[in-house]
Homo-oligomer: A and B are copies of this chain.
């Protein structure tokens, strides 16, 4: 009976809540020589600002600067990393208060949900979600007990109390977190009202603190039922009429400029397969018209996306926006769940990805162009050493993004460094990004990444592969320099 969490031995729920203090050397290699070097390197980067070039924080949080809601609405309901794991052990999303699309009744008592999460918190042992929430509770909210059944309500009270104080207003946390710059991810048709509001505010006036990222995916998915709606939304927000592919491209080009005018420096593109290919203009137009008639097939879409990636690269050489590519996630694998709860509910599952042949057209056309910059992410770790590191070690336009999603983890980061660095070097990578929609997890994620980079570099020092002075420069590069450089962010005055 899996939908009731399985009856593990009684020791798995404990009688007394345990005191907890995050260990200062947490995540660092226990070998004394490595830890000594890693500790020194981490100490040199831990206080550096957080540069956040890619993520999914809702900009309304910072536009409105209202107090955060109570703990469950803040930390559980929006976090698919957390509720997917509970679901995997048989907890229904309804029990966790995840709103159903049809408005049917789900659990509404936040304390009951919080209790359930705490009861099952042992499921997160050894996971990055576990590590991140431990950091949030301890470092952001000052909690000194371990989250478990008996401590649940007390911890809930403690956080709820804190959330009422001005210190915990979003903009105050932004500063307390030392965020230097935060990029959100925004649909091409998004009016960016929140970004405008932020820029108009005293808090951010004249500064690029919160910037948008241009994500036009929905307009390229010509076989999707929603495509026509997406085109109409773009028409509406831009005041244009889009009846040809040329018109679409012209509108996108202008829209990119608008994003750039609000501080945006990048675009983002998600596809299942990173196929790139320039099609003949009349063929592209045919595909476009097929889409307008609601007749585009999956294969039509595959070719249209391949062509539009080429177009996006071309526009990048003109407007200087950095192109990000996130391929290989098969979204909404669980159809029934998608129907009931919608997207981003923890059922996006990776597939194997081919880069060498798929990217050849794009890299042959733009990979040596000094005006072009492409950041590639992968969920298929077998491509790190086989395809991505050799490509990044050759094409000047190409940078590898940090370990993505499931691989943004302790072991995942070590595998990335070990499999990428010897062939691509660290200077063909783009530094860290947190990719989070959970605002309060930003410091936790950067802290973990800096600890792991220190760990990896400490291993190089302990094996005499690099000297300590070199490792120090590398740590600084990984923490902030490479991010600023890759995303064309300004270097703040010292």
| Residue ranges of A at the interface with B (Cβ–Cβ < 8 Å) | 1-4, 6-9, 11-12, 18, 20, 22-23, 25-34, 84-85, 87-90, 122-128, 131, 146, 330, 333-337, 346-352, 354, 356-357, 360, 363-364, 367-368, 370-373, 379-382, 385-387, 389-398, 406-407, 409-412, 415, 418-419, 421-428, 459-460, 462-467, 469-470, 473-474, 476-477, 481, 485, 491
Contacts and interface: CB of A to CB of B under 8 A. Distances in A.
B347 A460 contact: no
Q: List the 4 closest pairs (A to B, CB-CB), nearest first.
A: A3-B370, A23-B464, A30-B462, A26-B464
Contacts of A350: 356, 386-387, 390
A88 B424 contact: yes
Contacts of A349: 356, 387, 390-391, 394
B386 A381 contact: yes
A396 B90 contact: yes
Contact of A389 (B7, B406, B481): B406
Contacts of A466: 125-126
Given A25-B464, A126-B421, A382 B373 contact: no
A387 B406 CA distance: 11
Nearest to A29: B463
Nearest to A14: B469
A368 B465 contact: no
Given A349-B387, A352-B354, 10 more contacts: A84-B394, A87-B396, A88-B392, A88-B396, A88-B424, A126-B425, A126-B465, A330-B356, A333-B360, A350-B387
Contacts of A333: 356, 360, 363-364, 391, 394
16 contacts: A2-B372, A2-B373, A25-B464, A26-B465, A30-B33, A87-B396, A88-B398, A123-B425, A123-B427, A126-B421, A126-B426, A350-B390, A351-B357, A352-B386, A415-B418, A415-B419
Contact of A396 (B2, B33, B357): B2
Contacts of A367: 334
Contact of A425 (B8, B125, B398): B125
Contacts of A32: 30
A381 B370 contact: no
A409 B12 CA distance: 29
B379 A386 contact: yes
Nearest to A86: B396
B386 A364 contact: no
Nearest to A389: B406
A409 B394 contact: no
Given A356-B330, A368-B334, A394 B425 contact: no
Contacts of A370: 1-4, 90
Contacts of A415: 418-419
B407 A385 contact: yes
B473 A12 contact: yes
A459 B455 CA distance: 14
Give the residue among A372, A385, A491 with the most B Cβ atoms within 10 A: A385
A85 B386 CA distance: 16
Contacts of A427: 8, 89, 122-123
Given A30-B34, A423-B127, A425-B123, A368 B464 contact: no
Contacts of A84: 393-394
Contact of A428 (B33, B89, B462): B89
A390 B411 CA distance: 15
